[in-house]
Each structure stands twice: as C-alpha cells, then as structure tokens.
Amino acid sequence: MPEEIRPGTLYIVPTPIGNLDDITYRAVKILSAVDVIAAEDTRTTKVLLDHLQIQKPLLSFFSHNETIRVPQIIEKLKEGLAVALVSDAGTPGISDPAYSIIQACIRNELPVVPLPGPTAFVPVLVASGMPTQSFVFEGFLPHKKGRLTKLSQLKDEPRTIIFYESPHRILKTLEDLQNSFGDREAVIGREMTKKFEEILRGRLSSIRQVLSSRQIKGEFVLIVSGTKI
C-alpha cells in the first residue's frame, strides 16, 4: 500500500552518495509528498530533485544556521506540515547537524520517521575484508584541538575503526594515524558509487605513498584495523 504522509512529521530521508540510481522508491515517494524539504545544501538537493522531477519548497539547514532553523522547522511541524530532512549525500545524522533537529522533535513530542538508505562507510567496510562483526565509527577527526587526544584514546581500540576524511587532509591523517597507531593495515574508499570509485588496501604507509604521487580528489572513507591483543 502507498505510504500516507503524516502531518507534523519529520522524515529523515537518505540520498545517494554518488550514483543517483541508489535512491529508494520509498525515498522518492516521501520527497514527492512532503510539504517542505530541509536540505544541507539546497543547490545539491535541487540537482537530485530535478533528476527525480520533483518540485518542493527547499529550506537550507546546515551547521552554521541550525540555531535559527531548528525553531523554524519545529514551528512548521507544529502547524501540521510534513518536513523531509536530507543531507548532501547519505543518511542525515551521520557526521552532519541532523542531531539538533531530531533532538528538538523529541523534546516537542513530534514524530520522527527514519528511512533506511545509503551510508558511505558501509560499502567500504563490507569490501574492506576487515572484521565487520564489531566496529567503531569515528567520523571526522578533530582538525587541531583534541586530535592527538582522540588518537591516543583509539590507539588500543581492538575493533575495526572507521573515519571520514576530506581530500586536503587525508595525507595528514594517514601520517598522524601511522605515528599514533604504528603502520597498521588500512583500507581507503574514494568516490564510492561514482565513475571513478576506488578501493585501496595496504598498510598506512603504502596507501600514503600511493596518494602522495597523485592529485587527490574525492571524499574518503578510511578504515584501520584494530589493535591486536
């Protein structure tokens, strides 16, 4: 049966991490039916909506305007509007500001409906060949303050460790991980689901050497083996 949109409900809608064909049928139905779409970057979301031939009012919602936007979205929900929350890519709430609006909905006893869908680290983890029965997701490491403390805390972590990293920081992160953890086995996923998708396997030093010899592009998922106890 077609899903009926509930008034006053926040829908958490995952979007493709690269290949637009990875959107689910249910996500398309929800995006087509809600009253407003809150988007991390309205320009990025408009590209997806144009591809899907969906026209909806867009409201920007990102880390630097969430203080203003959260009360506005809550007010719309209280008025009975259905709102979809999307990020630029993947599942909202994973390394982005969705936490604040979800917390506000819970405080205001407003329903939140999460949809399953794409998440960048899952396909890389599955393809990594590292243990998947137990792992820890750390997202982006702190850029400066707290970075060495975080690495020190993770040094003795026995589970597979997952990070996100940007192209201009990946070499520095590989160096810091090698200095803190030793030259462990690692896997990098780059441009996942896109034309130039790539998975690199090896030790931190060898992956760093490979990337140092090329122009670095694309967002990275970095997976590092846990310590051997």
Range of the domain at 127: 121-224
Count CB atoms within 10 A of the CB of residue 217. 9
- Residue 228 DSSP label: P
**Edge-first strand listing for the sheet containing 36-39:** 58-60, 36-39, 83-86, 10-12, 112-114
Say whether both 93 and 143 belong to one domain.
no
Say whether both 143 and 50 belong to one domain.
no
CATH number of the domain at 82, please. 3.40.1010.10
113 touches 29 (CB < 8 A): no
Q: Number of structural domains, the chain?
A: 2
CATH number of the domain at 211, please. 3.30.950.10
**In this structure, are strands 220-224 and 58-60 parallel, antiparallel, or unpaired?**
unpaired
Q: pLDDT truncated to tens, each residue of the chain (229 aa)?
A: 457 899 999 999 999 999 999 999 999 999 999 999 999 999 999 999 999 999 999 999 998 898 999 999 999 999 999 999 999 999 998 877 799 999 999 999 999 999 999 999 999 999 999 999 999 999 999 998 999 999 999 999 999 999 999 999 999 999 999 999 999 999 999 999 999 999 999 999 999 999 999 999 889 999 999 998 6
CA 148 from centroid of its chain's CA atoms:
23
Token output for 226: 């846990």
Sign of the C-alpha dihedral computed for residues 50, 52, 58 and 60 taken in this order: negative
